[in-house]
Chains A and B, each alone.
Chain A
Amino acid sequence: MLEIKNLHATVDDREILKGISLTINPGEVHAIMGPNGSGKSTLAGVLSGRDLYAVTEGEVLYEGKNLLEMPPEERAQEGLLLSFQYPVEIPGVSNIYFLKAALNAKRKHHGEPEMDAMDFLLLVKDKIKKVNLDEAMLHRSVNEGFSGGEKKRNEVFHLSVLEPKLAILDETDSGLDIDALRVVADNINALRDGKRSFLVITHYQRLLEYIVPDYVHVLVDGRIVRSGGKELALELEQTGYKFEQEAARA
């Protein structure tokens, strides 16, 4: 599904990712944990095609294709979707209109006809209910005036409508209370079908109690310093990142 080989990336000529290698097979859930500023969002940004970042070395294959050569909208149309750490507000554009444009762009890319307006309405009404957001949010401008938690649930709502092949969740748990966290996790788990893959970025172990990962990687200062199974998350919860940070410095 995704093969990252020795990926180096810079922002303003400062190297943030310093050689990341990671392979995600279909159906797998990988968690990336790490302290603030370690490069988690940078990795998500490079994978989703944000041009703020310059890749200086390495390669990324997505379904065997060179991901780094694809424009960002094509990556999305091909099923690589990001749940943003900081979702962006788009005043004047309603959530439902936005999603319809997104879904139809994907369908067009795959040579499918636009979705019937009625079917679309039924689909989004069903999906928005599942993330516990009011139906009225469909008609409000994208993320405008949404609370932090509402924005995160709206991201998950977008993913559930657009049905990614590889979903990258960047701190989708931060700022959520325990009920909202459960709702988000339930919706993500509902998307797990044995084929779909997930890259779950989180700062806390808490989310991983609900979305149980197959692998956990620890990112410190732009490098994966440890990888393991789901028990690694628990261990980190107890020891913190100190040990890993020291190891990285040594």
Chain B
Amino acid sequence: MSTPTRTVEELANREYEFGFITDVEAESVPPGLNEDVIRLISAKKNEPDFLLEWRLKAYRHWLTMEEPKWQNVHYPPINYQEVIYYSAPKAKGDQPKSLDEIDPEILKTYEKLGIPIQEQEMLAGVVAVDAVFDSVSVATTFKAKLNEMGIIFCSFSEAAQEHPELIRKYLGTVVPTNDNYFAALNSAVFSDGSFVYIPKGVRCPMELSTYFRINAKNTGQFERTLIIADAGSYVSYLEGCTAPMRDENQLHAAVVELIAHDDATIKYSTVQNWYPGDKEGKGGIYNFVTKRGKCEGRNSKISWTQVETGSAITWKYPSCILKGDNSVGEFYSVAVTANYQQADTGTKMIHIGKNTRSTIVAKGISAGHAQSTYRGAVKILSGADGARNYSQCDSILIGDQCGAHTFPYIDVQNPTAQVEHEASTSKIGEDQIFYCNQRGISSEDAVSMIVNGFCKEVFRELPMEFAVEAQKLLSVSLEGSVG
């Protein structure tokens, strides 16, 4: 019969579903970081000079910085000289021009992940995927259709070649190279990522999606994503991530920058299930990410929705700078931590413009020995008349060896502002599980049902197909949590 203790033990026994390694020839630079490596990366990508200079400036700054120590996560020191900073699958030609040219092994990997990479499948899914395999974008679909509307959706490397003026204008304007340790490192060595530009008044007709996948051994992955929504435009962007199972911890330090002009809306959704490490806490991804959006224009809106079930360590605060008057920032988050996972996540809402509004809904689920921390900052500057914030931060605990911590920071410099914060912590009780059992529902289904109910407010912010995937992921993550 089930007891909460057994619950936790069995939870710890879950296996990572996506732990397979793709066998493709990779082209890597030797481990280690110096200016030559950066020059090599830039040269491989045939980048314009300004970009190389930008990288080098970031690198020189990074050398003067120290790794942050304030977050509530613990891990052995990372040796940055052992990381490989560039790894690309070897293609037959230079760059694959169609799906036929892509290594079938890679396609098989995507199949296992359930990514509909074939265009035929894409047509059914109405999703355009810019797939990032390790560092190089291997396939971009639906480009033609988007092109007709003036929408640019391509790999970052391609954008650097074809749209250098946009890169030059926007890169680093939201997350400057010297913003923080991991952002500086990313700026120096980023390998690839996605670029999106939605022209004035255009409503992007489909969800744009990138699947990140970390594959090559010991490869630090440094994605750079830049999304610009010009005046009156709308875009919804989906990011999904998985990584194969490995013994060594893998470093991931991505940067995402969003810019919304007047009356524009950007919706950015993430479902992240990177390998969290095994039940003893060995292996798994270190995820240090800087995600920030700037509501540059009046009435603009940026909305972050994230469902995080993976990574050994997560350090992530998708944030909004609400500069334009009447602009809106939103953050909806579900973070699941199990086994020995650690997550320190939250958001920052910085109110600069008048009547700016922000909403934060953060749901944390902890099981096993996991520690989950919510860290949220709401800052209302003196010019932000009539600014409003509502924050709600709930934690649910499964078992009694895990923990949830909440650190809200509130800084209000304008007397007309209204800031509301609510927080709660609850536990899935043995009596709740028994009540479900007594109606014929298994303990596993009971936990999954209760957890899904707990996350409802966040799930309904996700695009339909993603919401279904997120629910499944949550069930998989908590599988075996009870007997």
Residues of A within 8 A of B (CB): 48-51, 71-73, 75-77, 81-82, 84, 87-94, 97-99, 101-103, 105-106, 109, 141, 158, 162
Contacts and interface: CB of A to CB of B under 8 A. Distances in A.
A106 B286 CA distance: 43
A101 B448 CA distance: 12
A10 B45 CA distance: 73
Nearest to A102: B439
B165 to A, nearest CB: 49
Nearest to A142: B435
A96 B395 CA distance: 25
Interface string B145-164: 00000000000000000000
B54 interface: no
A223 B1 CA distance: 26
A88 B446 CA distance: 13
A97 B449 CA distance: 9
A106 B440 CA distance: 6
A76 B432 contact: no
Contacts, number: 85
A77 B438 CA distance: 9
B470 to A, nearest CB: 15
Given A88-B431, A102-B436, 5 more contacts: A48-B438, A49-B1, A73-B443, A77-B440, A93-B450
Contact of B445 (A82, A90, A105): A105
7 contacts: A72-B434, A73-B436, A73-B440, A75-B438, A87-B435, A91-B426, A98-B439
A73 B454 contact: no
For B435, B438, B452, which residue has the most chain A Cβ atoms within 10 angstroms?
B438
Contact of A81 (B2, B431, B438, B449): B438
Given A51-B1, A105-B445, A72 B453 contact: no
A188 to B, nearest CB: 18
B432 A105 contact: no
B440 A102 contact: yes
B453 A71 contact: no
What are the 3 tightest A-B residue pairs by CB atom distance, in nearest-first order? Answer: A92-B453, A102-B439, A72-B437
A162 B440 contact: yes
A72 B438 contact: yes
Contacts of B168: none
B441 interface: yes
Interface string B5-43: 000000000000000000000000000000000000000
A93 B437 contact: no
Given A51-B1, A71-B1, A98-B449, A90 B432 contact: yes
Contacts of A93: 449-450, 453
Interface string B170-199: 000000000000000000000000000000
Contacts of B449: 93, 97-98, 101
Contacts of B440: 73, 76-77, 102-103, 105-106, 109, 162
Contacts of B81: none
Contacts of B97: none
Contacts of A105: 439-442, 445
B454 A81 contact: no
B1 A90 contact: no
A78 to B, nearest CB: 9
Nearest to B456: A92
Contacts of A77: 440
A101 B2 contact: no
Given A51-B1, A76-B439, A102-B439, A91 B434 contact: no
Contacts of A76: 437-440
Contact of A91 (B438, B441, B443, B453): B453
Given A88-B431, A92-B453, A49 B445 contact: no
Contacts of B429: 88
B3 interface: yes
A97 B471 CA distance: 15
A72 B483 CA distance: 11
B439 A90 contact: no
B441 A92 contact: no
Nearest to A70: B1
Contact of A51 (B2, B445, B450, B453): B2
A8 to B, nearest CB: 18
B445 A101 contact: yes
Contacts of A89: 432
A225 B445 CA distance: 41
A88 B429 CA distance: 10
Nearest to A89: B432
Contacts of B450: 90, 92-93
For A76, A92, A97, A103, which residue has the most chain B Cβ atoms within 10 angstroms?
A92
B441 A51 contact: no
A103 B445 CA distance: 13
Contacts of A101: 439, 441, 445, 449
A193 to B, nearest CB: 20
B467 to A, nearest CB: 15
B395 to A, nearest CB: 13
A90 B456 CA distance: 14
B103 to A, nearest CB: 42
A92 B454 contact: yes
Contacts of B437: 49, 71-73, 76
Contacts of A51: 1-3, 434
Nearest to B434: A50
B149 to A, nearest CB: 38
Contacts of B452: 92
A51 B436 CA distance: 14
A234 B413 CA distance: 73
A36 to B, nearest CB: 20
Given A71-B1, A105-B441, A105-B442, A84 B435 contact: yes
A89 B440 CA distance: 17
B396 to A, nearest CB: 9
A48 B1 CA distance: 12
Contacts of A73: 436-438, 440-443
Nearest to A88: B435
A84 B439 CA distance: 11
A87 to B, nearest CB: 7
Contacts of A109: 440
Nearest to A50: B434
Contacts of B438: 48-49, 72-73, 75-76, 81-82, 84
